[in-house]
Structure formats: C-alpha cells, structure tokens
Amino acid sequence: MEPYIDVAAPVKNALKEGKPVVALESTIITHGMPFPANKNMALEVETIIRERGAIPASIALVNGRIKVGLTTAMIDELAQTSNAVKISKRDLSYVIQQSLTGGTTVSATMLIAEAVGIDVFATGGIGGVHRGHKDTLDISRDLEELATCSVAVVCAGAKSILDIEKTLEYLETKAVEVIGYQTDVMPEFYTASGDFSVSHRLDSVKEIATVFHVKRRLGFNGGMVIANPIPQEASMDKTTIDRVIEQEIKQANAHHIKGKALTPYLLSALEKATKGQSLTANIALVKHNAALAADLAISMAKLS
C-alpha cells in the first residue's frame, strides 16, 4: 500500500517515536453528517485527541492519494464535495486509479491504519449485519476487516438500523472481542442501553490496552471492538428512536434504497425525522469515543 499513501509529518513523527496515534474515518464526514456539522465535528474530534495527549490521524482519499493526517483544507473539501465516494476495501483500487476523492469506511480505514502501524481507531458506530439480511445478503464489509486487521476500534456500539444480535454473532464467529467499556450490554449508538450482552466488560482503559496487547502476543490477527456507551446526557429515548428507525427502514425498502446507499440514507432520514436530535447525539458520541480512543492509545503506547 505504501506507494499510494501520504502520511502527514506529525503522524509520521509520532509513529516513528512510538507516540500514541488515533486513526479517524471519513465516511462520517462525506456521508454521515450534513455540512457544516460534519466539518466542525471532524475538527473538534482532532482537537479532543490532541488535548488528551495523542496525535489524530484522519484518513481519506484525496485525488486518488491515500491521506493519513488531513489538513483543514482537505477536511473542508471532504465536508462539502457532493461527489465524494464512500470507500470500502473493494472501492480502493478503483478510486486510486481514477484519482477520486472520498471518505473511507471503518473497513478501509482499518486496512490503512494497520498498513501504517496505527493501533487505535475512533468512529461513531460500526457497520454490521443489516436487518432483512436473509433477503438482501447485506452484511457490512466492516466485519471482515474487524476479523483480520489488528486495530482496536472504539465506537458507541451499533445502531439499531442493524440487526445487532446477528452482528454480535458474526463477530463471535470471526473471533472479534466486543469489550463493553463500563457496560455489560452492547450500546445501541443513540442509546446507552441495549438488549444484548457484550463479550466482556472492562472498567479501565489499562485493562483494555492489556487485553489487546495479549491478543497480539498470542499471535492472533484481528481487531477488537470497544463499545463505549453514548454519554447519559446525550442518550436518546430508546422507544422513540427505535420507532423512527423502524419507520425509516420501511421507507427505504419502499424506495428500493440498498447496498452502500442504505446507511447514509437512513442516517439522513433519521435526522429529519428527529428534527436534528439524532445528529446532536451522533456528534456527542463521536467526541466521547475520540477521548476514550486517545486514552487507549496512550495506554497502549506504554505497553509496546
């Protein structure tokens, strides 16, 4: 991958010196939130990571180059350009060949983070097994990279636009630990609560860092999910959001929205249906995840 990657100087130096670095995805910028909330979120998240003592590495494709560490101008372009591609692993070679610009999903971001040696990655929510997957076969590529890339992914769980129970089953099959940070249940993105158990609960960052360290020393490939519940003050009412999600999935089906367009469609439909509440919650949880990811990167840097 190296010939196609440009690593920004601060990230390169931090990696060389073994300093803590946190990778950030960019589909959340290009397809997850509207402008200017997306741009502000991306910049704020980087600031949070720096303030905790780690180096942020936002990852995206700009004119066919893989960028690890983005300038404000690049973030601004990604936030506003209407023809940005949503890039998962299968899209990478095409996007490079065509010199396109786009946001990397959890899947592509993990691949790139691993290639440059970044251990920790913060996002909002991971993709997973979609509801209705029996008919559509729609299972996010994210789960495959979680199975194979050695990167710890901090997220607020998986939102109930997905089939969370099946997502957890799939991760179990692929031997991906789902660590609940100070929680016994898989949080459901917009809500701190959830109906399904995580694989293991850990209450300290140091323990999480050590589990990941041990996993590597055992010679096991693959990532780890760290499920960090949305802060209580930002958590939405579960009955309300679940009802809206149910409604919007019906709409998506009626409009034949599928494949890679489905997640962005649902995110934007939820925002409208909740009059912006889901967007506010999304921003709060991403910031919260960035802070935990920074602490985790710092803890992991001490171990290696």
102-104 vs 55-62, strand pairing mode? antiparallel
Cβ-based neighbour number of residue 217 at 10 Å: 9
Q: What is the smallest separation between the CB atom of 225 and Mn ion, expressed in angstroms? A: 18
The residue with its CB nearest to ligand PSU is 32
278 binds, among ligand PSU, Mn ion, none (CB under 5 to 8 A by kind): none
Give, as ranges, the residues between 22 and 51 that touch ligand PSU (CB under 6 A): 25, 27-28, 31-32
Residue 138 binds Mn ion, judged by CB under 5 A: yes
Minimal CA–CA distance to 38: which of 282, 238, 296? 282
How far apart are the C-alpha atoms of 254 and 86, rounded to whole Å? 23
186 binds, among ligand PSU, Mn ion, none (CB under 5 to 8 A by kind): none
Catalytic residue selected from 25, 46, 114, 271: 25
Q: What is the smallest separation between the CB atom of 175 and Mn ion, expressed in angstroms? A: 22
Q: What is the smallest separation between the CB atom of 289 and ligand PSU, expressed in angstroms? A: 11
DSSP string, 168-211: HHHHHHTT-EEEEET-SB--BSS-S--SSB-SEEE--HHHHHHH
Give, as ranges, the residues between 151 and 210 that touch ligand PSU (CB under 6 A): 159
How far apart are the C-alpha atoms of 224 and 240, rounded to whole Å? 30
Angle 37-52/72-80 helices, nearest 10 degrees?
150
Q: What is the smallest separation between the CB atom of 18 and ligand PSU, expressed in angstroms? A: 28
Q: Compute the half-sphere exposure of residue 70: CA atoms within 13 Å on the CB side of its CA.
A: 32
* Catalytic residue numbers, as ranges: 25, 159
The residues binding ligand PSU (CB under 6 A) are 25, 27-28, 31-32, 105-107, 124-125, 127, 140-142, 159, 260, 263, 267
